[in-house]
Amino acid sequence: MLKALLIVAMVTFLILLWLYLIAPAKDKDCNAFKGIMFAHRGLHQPNIPENSGMAFKMAADAGYGVELDIQYSKDMKIVVFHDATLSRMCGVDKKVSECTYEELLNYSLDGTDEKIPLFSEVLEILSGAPLVCEIKNHNGNRNYKLCNRI
């Protein structure tokens, strides 16, 4: 009986410790984000694909902040694209990380005239709009370099 109580107490302690460790920090100042609406991957809609220059322009023009996704191309250009592969958005069975940026420009986003943008181009489009940047880790060993560059 005592052994069972010790096990229950230990499991309870470990669960509480885990919950404490994953709890959001209370001392972080997030006031800069309060009251701001964010467009997830830009303000995309039919004929304006996600993570495209036009989706970001529409979000900025509407006064929204933007959440976007970045990763490296093969030639270490920082591109704005969510998926590891081009399949869903471009209909091509290739990984973004296996294509140079010049190669990526050959593919359109979701059948439109929009192309995969460079992060630097998107920053110009957003012109100081609030930004939440998700750094994709499709190629684990390059993620540290990407974080430092951003």
Instruction: Write out the two tokens for 107.
Output: 């593919």
User: Which residue among the candidates 39, 40, 69, 116 is catalytic per the annotation?
Assistant: 40
Active site residue 40: yes
User: Which residue among the candidates 74, 77, 82, 95 is catalytic per the annotation?
Assistant: 82
Question: How many CA atoms does the CB half-sphere of 101 hold within 13 Å?
Answer: 13
Active site residue 138: no
In whole angstroms, how large is the CA radius of gyration of the chain? 21
**What is the CB neighbour count within 10 angstroms for residue 76?**
13
Beta bridge partners of 134: 69
The residues annotated as belonging to the active site are: 40, 82
